[in-house]
Amino acid sequence: MSFAPDKDPNAGDAAACDAIELMIVPRSVDLGGFSVRRALPHSKRRMVGPFIFFDHFGPAEFKSGQGIDVRPHPHIGLATVTFLFDGEIMHRDSLGTAVPIRPGEVNWMTAGRGIVHSERTAPERRMGGEPLHGLQCWVALPANDEEIEPGFAHVGSAELPIVTDNGRTVRVVAGSLLGARSPVPTLWDTLFAEATLAAGSTIPFDATTEERALYVVDGEIDIAGDKFSPGRLLIFRPGDAITVTAVSDARIVLVGGAAMDGPRHIWWNFVSSRKERIEQAKADWRAGRFDSVPGDESEFIPLPE
């Protein structure tokens, strides 16, 4: 998706749990017909591990004939990670990729030196209205890999490991958790997992991941006696073992990884360790030097002024 910065809202409840370094209340952004809650980047925390962007979109229900239409736009220096809870998005990119993503699957698009993509609801999915609910995150690439060749990986739901026991179902999208490892290749130590928890069930979030965060999608959770409602990104202090208890049936997402190898600059859809590289990307998009998206060439998102 495409990024435009906005002001962070004031936090609601104070983060009372000692293990929590920061609680982020996402800011709401309108992306043309549906709202997005953007938790990262935040004024008080730019990244968690390699994660430099965290969007929660929906749940939305489009009327008949409508859908998502994110026109072709460019990226550099990052990988986009798209994961759906409901609905379907057709992904197309300048590599010639054209693949739908559905719930439980993952699209991992590595921009590297530059890629262009679009995200739309397919015409046949617009006939009777269409739900949409999911996440899109960006992970920064290691400084030595920022200019690699672009690439795209689609991993089906059957390929992602699932751990089911004691009232919890955990899908490991990237990295490893609870003894299961995802087949998704990453260039940096990265964790991304979705967990659905029955009321009363628990899940540990140990300290083997250097930088960790938890996002509450649905339901209510308890950590050390403090309760947290949906739409909160909890960033944990390093070194503390965490146990999450579901107060009600809940869905959470665990993300993190090793601390990045230096700060990153982010402007619009560009991420880089070097400001001059972002300036070059801006000039390249303005001048039409990025590749086009086969099958979606008639529109594009202009460079913001």
Element holding 283 (H helix, E strand):
helix 275-286
| Residue pair 69/78 in contact by the 8 Å Cβ criterion | no
At residue 8 the predicted structure's pLDDT band, cuts being 50, 70 and 90, is very low
| Per-residue pLDDT, 4 | 56
Q: Which two tokens stand for residue 61?
A: 């229900």
| Residue pair 114/150 in contact by the 8 Å Cβ criterion | yes
Is the pLDDT at 192 greater than 80, yes or no? yes
Residue 243, strand partner residues: 204
What is the tens place of the pLDDT at every residue in 215-228?
999 999 999 999 99
Is the pLDDT at 258 greater than 80, yes or no? yes
What is the tens place of the pLDDT at every residue in 123-153?
999 988 899 999 999 999 999 999 999 999 9
Give the range among 29-38, 81-90, 293-302 with minimum mean pLDDT. Answer: 29-38
What is the tens place of the pLDDT at every residue in 48-59?
999 999 999 999
| Per-residue pLDDT, 16 | 43
| Residue pair 73/301 in contact by the 8 Å Cβ criterion | yes
Backbone angles phi, psi at 143, to 5 degrees: -55, -35
| Mean pLDDT across 273-290 | 98
Cα–Cα distance, 13 to 24 (Å, whole number) = 10
Peptide bond into 302 cis (omega under 30): no
Q: pTM of the full predicted structure? A: 0.93
| Residue pair 170/163 in contact by the 8 Å Cβ criterion | yes
> Could you tell me which of 117, 112, 81 has the C-alpha nearest to residue 96?
117
Q: Strand (E) positions, 76-189?
A: 78-87, 89-93, 98-101, 106-110, 115-120, 130-140, 151-155, 162-165, 168-174, 176-177, 180-181
